Structure 1
Amino acid sequence: MADRLVCTSSSLRALPAPDWGRGAIEPILPALLRGVIFISVLSAPFVAALLAG
């Protein structure tokens, strides 16, 4: 079993590394911005209720 784990983990190194350059990050930013807007809109009534006391 340990031999299989070693073979599996060493075979992962043969895969090409993902491109972590500027081009790989740019598509993430709009999704991240949408997520931040969604969370802020979702939490706005709760924050308003806390501030109202």
Structure 2
Amino acid sequence: MADRLARISSSPLPILDRGRSGPVEPMLPALVRGVIFISVLAAPFVAALLAG
């Protein structure tokens, strides 16, 4: 059991080992979802403005 805990605690974290581009990559899908969500909400208002 102790060797198992030592192996888990000493395992390297590949997420933190990527450098500067590491934390940005998981945020990109959330940004894309946010842009799609905002554009879907704004579409009726844009259509109403274009229709006059």
Task: Give 1:21 shift.
Answer: 1.1
**Structure 1: how far apart are the matches of 2:47 and 2:32?**
22
> TM-score of the superposition, structure 2-length normalised?
0.62
**Structure 1: tracts of 5 or more residues without a match:** 1-18
Structure with the bigger percentage of helix = 1
Runs of 4+ in structure 1 over 6 Å off: none
Q: Which has the higher contact order (CA 8 A, sep 6+)?
A: 2
Count of residue pairs brought into register by the alignment: 35
> TM-score of the superposition, structure 1-length normalised?
0.61
**Aligned-residue CA RMSD in angstroms?**
1.5
2:23 maps to what in 1? 24
